[in-house]
Amino acid sequence: MRPRFYFLTVALLVLFLGSCKKDNYDAPAADFNGRIVYKGEAINVQYGNVYFELWQPGFGKSGAINVNIDQEGHYSAKLFDGNYKLVFSANQGPFLWPKNAKGAQDTVAVNMSGSKTMDIEVMPYYMVRNSVFTAASGKVNASCKLEKIITDVNAKDIERAVLYINKTQFVDGSNNLANQELTGAALGDLNNLSFSVTVPTIVPTQNYVFARIGVKISGVEDMIFSPLQKVQF
Amino acid sequence: MKSIKYAWFAIVLLTFGQSCKKDSEYLNKQPTNTLSVEATWKDPNLVLSVIGDLYDRYPDFQTIESWWEFTDFDEAFASNGGDYGRHQNAEFDYGSWNWWDYGYIRDLNVFLKRGQEATALSEADKNRFIAEARFIRAGVYFELVKRMGGVPLITEPMEYNYSGDPTYLQHARAKESEIYDFVISELEAVKNMLPNSASTQSRATKGAALAMESRAALYAASIAKYGVSTGQVSLPGGEVGIPASMATAYYQKSLQAAKEIISDGQYSLYKKNPNLSDNFSSLFTDKSNNPEVIFAKDFKLKTNKVHGYTINNQPRSSAEEQQGGRLNPSLNLVQSFEKLDNTYASLASVDASGNPVYYTGITDIFAGRDARLAGTVILPGTQFKNKTVDIWAGYMLANGTIITGDNFGQTKKDVLPGKPGTVQVVGADGPIDGLEFSAQSGFYVRKYLDPATGSGQIGTRSEVWWIRYRYAEVLLNAAEASFALGDAQGAADYLKPVRDRAGLTTPLTAGDMSLDRLVHERRVELAFEGHELWDMKRWRLADKAWNGNAMSVADFTNAANIGVAARTNTQVFGLWPYKYYNPGDANDGKYVFKVVKPSKVTAAHRFRLGNYYSLINQDIINRNPKIVKNPNQ
């Protein structure tokens, strides 16, 4: 009986140690993060709606890694080390992305070896400047200035500017409690836009809301926003 | 012993006897379970079964075989546990509605090639089969172009030569307009090879070819005309987007094709039943001598070609199985049926100053409306299969308190003040919020619901057909094309018979005509017929109506913009009837109505510009690098 018992032990040991071998490659470990910016200032957008693509050539079949931009313009992705190409597909985001000589979207080479932080410089059509939010008797008042960044042939007009408020920090066209829209003549003086929106009853009650001003540029799907602010009242 | 000897003898004989055959004969046996190409193309009945398979593979989005797709765009609520998610996702996936079946196109091309080479068939049979296959192929390209934009145009079966280099098989996408041109020219070419007979409704006919041509040309024309408003939805190579200058020619083709059907006189509107609402609902279920149906996908009882639309959607209280009631038309759709004086109005649940309105009969609130409303929707208090549906949400007391239950037709004891005893507190069909199969919007669907006994049983099912093209749509196409070509009076004249049948006998004048009117007419006439997505896409209204903005009760009470085509339509709302309980009051026992948003509706639909043309999967692009991506994705 004894020798057989030892034999069994050894056999099991071999078997289990054998399975300790890694049968797969490591999970991606390098962090790639940063913001989309214009002259160092983050571009605020609606979350889940603007993304760029990362392509890694050299592995046969290709497929893009889509990296989403969050509402404050940040992104982050876990990647393997290697060489990637970064590109925004046409008409993504409230900004222009450079084109190459052939007229296609240009790519930016990204070399990953270990983690990397990179701000991506883009050219927005407009920027929302000096946004101020104040609370006043059941209302949120706001003002801002819109600066036209692109003034050449690619310049576009503003379709509407909207003040959104929400009870959570996600504030945009799809997530809001109330909004006030300025269109047409109300957009006459872009240096001085003012908004006012009544705060509806919030259940359960809270004594603050989050507010942002969004700008819809005509012919551009994604809106550009002011930085988010919590308004206490 | 003797018998064993005989047995041995027999075995030996059989074994060696076999080997007397020639080797070539032995190895060259015909398979007994498949038919060879040569054998098939000798017999018209066998070819018919091949083309039957090709007909069967024709794609549809939103049909009676997939009721849930009708709920994706807020025309109806999905009262089914697994489908609430349709009202909880704001964005449509870029890959929604995509379809890329070149295997099917290859089979069609192979069929056409073999048909042209066949010698044993009579000329008449051969020509008809070839024309049918070309009709189906044109339809397939039409289905492709409305989903994906321009696609590679392949009209010959391609063969791989095993050289290791498949690049010669890779074709770039054609322009969107080129695909529409191909569809139109193919249908124009085959229309006279097909029988011109209104009694052939499940195979291609001249009428079907012209109806498809009229629709395809109308789609191309409106993309050219309205694509200007969504300039971003285009590609520099023309794979997506049609230049505005081509609009007029397409509208003319659409009108011409529609006119040819009308002047041929083979088809007419279905008017067998003097009750206009019943007439409108039996238009879809009456399969004997139905003069309106041009091309349909047919079903037959006691075969495997039956469907469960009626099982899924029959009223729960009179259901023949313990299920039904899944498809609940929304108040958004119901209130868009106009009043008999051609004006739009919300259903009067409250008066102009916001006070509730009391109705003696539960159906009174729907009185004086387009007859198509009751033909499309089972309203509270109306009948299906001679049984009145029991849709009411509970009792409302004088102080506004609601007394209701949480199960079908639930009874409660001593709940009504001053009235001891057991009473039913909710209808046997609901509405009960969050309870599947109950009429959670306050309505059930009627269109395509089969009135035959047994249609609601799993063992029997339904043989009601799916109508792909019908005469009323041809008239609407003609109206839209006429209007776009500047003939408003002509448009009004084409609309007239369709509206007369709906009981809207005051004719519209040329001055009443507008895109809003035409959009509205298609919406109510063709609801639950698989048109809404494609129509909203081609008018470039999809991103405006499904704009991601939440809706409120105010959109359904005294709303002023019901007839506006671009009106926000992002969330399903419902209308619930309550019995007013206030003994001694003049209004006791009357009905009051409340506009409600079912609690399962949590998100507002948003159609992004990238949804106009569906995503082409990356593996398709990897196989053929000449394919360019669709815009805005």
Closest CB to A219 among B232, B604, B633: B232
Name the residue facing B618 among A63, A90, A103 (closest C-beta): A63
**Contact check, Cβ <8 Å, A219/B91:** no
Q: Convert the pLDDT of each residue in B509-524 to its tens digit.
A: 999 999 999 999 999 9
Shortest CA distance from A93: residue in chain B: B632
Distance from the B623 Cα atom to the nearest Cα atom in chain A, whole angstroms:
9
Among chain A residues, CA nearest to B608: A221
Q: How far apart are CA B589 and CA B598, in angstroms?
A: 25
A200 touches chain B (CB under 8 A): no
- In angstroms, what CA-CA distances link B138 with A141, B135, B189, B193? 58, 5, 11, 15
Question: Is B629 in Cβ contact with A220 (below 8 Å)?
Answer: no
**DSSP letters spanning B124-151:** HHHHHHHHHHHHHHHHHHHHHHHHHSS-
The answer to whether residue A97 scores a pLDDT higher than 80 is yes
Q: How far is B544 from chain A (nearest CA, A)?
A: 12
ipTM value of the model? Answer: 0.80
**Neighboring chain A residues of B608 at a CB cutoff of 8 Å:** 49, 221
pLDDT at A22 over 70: no
Residue B622 has pLDDT above 60, yes or no: yes
| Cβ-defined contact of B609 to A174 (cutoff 8 Å) | no
Q: How confident is the model at residue B67 (pLDDT cuts 50, 70, 90)?
A: very high
β-bridge pairing A178-183 and A208-217:
unpaired
- B95, two tokens: 């890959």
Residues in chain B: 633
Interface test with A, best of B88, B568, B622, B630 (most A CBs within 10 A): B622
DSSP letter assigned to residue B168: G
Q: Which residue of B has its CA nearest to A60?
A: B622
Q: Looking at the partner chain, which of B548, B606, B631 has a beta carbon nearest the beta carbon of A91?
A: B631
Q: Which residues of B touch A90 (CB under 8 A)?
A: 631-632
Mutation choice for A interface testing from B235, B611, B615, B633 by most A CBs within 10 A: B633
Structure tokens at B44: 């018209």
**High-pLDDT (> 70) share of chain B, %:** 98
Nearest C-alpha of chain A: how many angstroms from B259? Answer: 38
Banded model confidence at residue A214, pLDDT cuts 50, 70, 90: very high
For chain A, where are the E strands, in sequence order? 30-38, 41-42, 51-55, 65-68, 74-79, 82-87, 95-96, 108-112, 116-117, 120-121, 123-124, 126-136, 139-148, 158-166, 178-183, 193-198, 208-217, 224-225, 229-232
In the predicted model, is pLDDT for residue B470 greater than 60?
yes
pLDDT in tens, B560-606: 899 999 999 999 999 999 999 998 889 988 999 999 999 999 989 99
The predicted-structure confidence for A33-45, as pLDDT tens digits, reads as follows 999 999 989 999 9
Task: Collect all residues of chain B within an 8 Å Cβ-Cβ radius of residue A220.
Answer: 232
Q: Which of B271, B340, B375 is nearest to B505 (CA)?
A: B340
- The model's pTM: 0.89
Contact B190, B257 (CB under 8 A): no
Q: What is the pLDDT of residue A117?
A: 93
Nearest residue on chain B to A164, judged by CA atoms? B549
DSSP state of A141: E
What is the structure's pLDDT at B533? Answer: 95
Determine the residue of chain B that is closest to A179 in CA distance. Answer: B549
- CB contact A63 to B (< 8 Å): yes
Residue B536 in this model has a pLDDT that exceeds 90: yes
A61–B619 C-beta distance less than 8 A? yes
Residue B439 clears pLDDT 90, i.e. is over it: yes
pLDDT of residue B329: 95
The residues, any chain, with a CB within 8 Å of residue A204's CB and separated by 6 or more, are: none
pLDDT for the residue numbered B417: 86
What would the pLDDT profile of B366-401 be if each residue is shown by its tens digit?
A: 999 999 999 999 999 999 999 999 999 999 999 989
Residue B20 — very low, low, confident or very high, per pLDDT cuts 50/70/90?
A: low
* pLDDT at residue A59, rounded to an integer: 81
Query: Is pLDDT above 70 for A161?
Result: yes
- Residue whose pair of structure tokens reads 């791989």 in the numeric block: B160
pLDDT at A1 over 60: no
Q: Which of A90, A174, A220 is facing B631, going by the closest CB pair?
A: A90
Q: Does the CB of A220 have a partner CB in chain B at under 8 Å?
A: yes
pLDDT at B402 over 70: yes
Q: Is the C-alpha dihedral spanning B145, B148, B152, B158 positive or negative?
A: negative
Going by C-alpha positions, the residue among B179, B163, B167 that lies closest to residue B219 is B179
Q: What is the pLDDT of residue A36?
A: 93
To the nearest whole percent, how much of chain A has pLDDT over 70?
95
Average pLDDT, chain B: 92
Is the pLDDT at B146 greater than 90? The verdict is yes
User: Chain B: nearest CA to A155, how far in angstroms?
Assistant: 15
- Cα–Cα distances (Å) from A115 to A35, A81, A121, B7, B27, in that order, read 15, 9, 19, 83, 66
The arithmetic mean of pLDDT across residues A211-218, rounded, is 92
Cβ–Cβ gap A63/B231 under 8 Å: no
Taking residues B223-233, report their average pLDDT. Answer: 89
pLDDT at residue A169 tops 60: yes
Nearest to A91 among B232, B543, B622 (CB): B232
A 1-30 residues with CB below 8 A of B? none
**How close A207 comes to chain B (CA, Å)?**
23
- Residues in chain A closer than 8 A to B232 (CB atoms): 91, 219-221
Q: What's the gap in Å between the CA of B97 and the closest CA on chain A? A: 20
* Distance between CA atoms of residues B380 and B593, nearest Å: 11
| pLDDT tens profile A67-91 | 999 999 999 999 999 999 999 988 8
Residue B287: the pLDDT is 93
Q: What Cα–Cα distance (Å) separates residue B505 from each residue in A58, B370, B512?
A: 69, 10, 14
Across the interface, of B549, B603, B622, the residue whose CB is closest to A173 is B549
Closest residue in chain B to residue A66, using alpha carbons only: B633
Please choose, from the candidates B281, B273, B260, B177, the residue with its C-alpha nearest in 3D space to the C-alpha of residue B214: B260
Q: Which residue of A has its CA nearest to B230?
A: A219
Task: Report the C-alpha gap between B172 and B34 in whole angstroms.
Answer: 36
- How many beta-carbon pairs under 8 angstroms link A with B? 37
Chain B positions with Cβ closer than 8 Å to A: 90-91, 231-232, 236, 543, 548-549, 603-604, 606, 608-610, 618-619, 622, 629, 631-633
| Cα torsion B98, B465, B129, B53: sign | positive
- pLDDT surpassing 80 at residue B409: yes
Q: Are A45 and A222 in contact (CB under 8 A)?
A: yes
The rounded percent of chain B whose pLDDT value lies above 90 is 77
Task: Report residue B19's pLDDT band, with 50, 70 and 90 as the boundaries.
Answer: low
The answer to whether residue A18 scores a pLDDT higher than 70 is no
Nearest CA distance, B630 vs chain A (angstrom): 10
In this model, does residue A132 exceed pLDDT 60? yes
pLDDT of residue A203: 81
| Radius of gyration, alpha carbons of chain A | 25
Give the nearest chain A residue to B232 (CA atoms): A219
Residue A174 and residue B232: Cβ atoms within 8 Å?
no
- Using CA coordinates, name the residue in chain A closest to B235: A90
Q: Does A100 touch chain B (CB under 8 A)?
A: no
The region, left, alpha or beta by phi > 0 then psi within -120 to 50, assigned to residue B232 is: alpha
Q: Are B317 and B428 in contact (CB under 8 A)?
A: yes
Please answer yes or no on whether B548 and A64 come within 8 Å at the CB atom: no
With cut-offs at 50, 70 and 90, classify the pLDDT of residue A219.
confident
pLDDT of residue B8: 84
| pLDDT tens profile B101-125 | 999 999 999 999 999 998 889 999 9
Contacts of A94 in chain B (CB under 8 A): none
Say whether the peptide bond before residue A204 is cis (omega within 30 degrees of 0): yes
A58 close contact with B: CB closer than 8 A? no
> How far A23 CA lies from chain B's nearest CA (Å)?
27
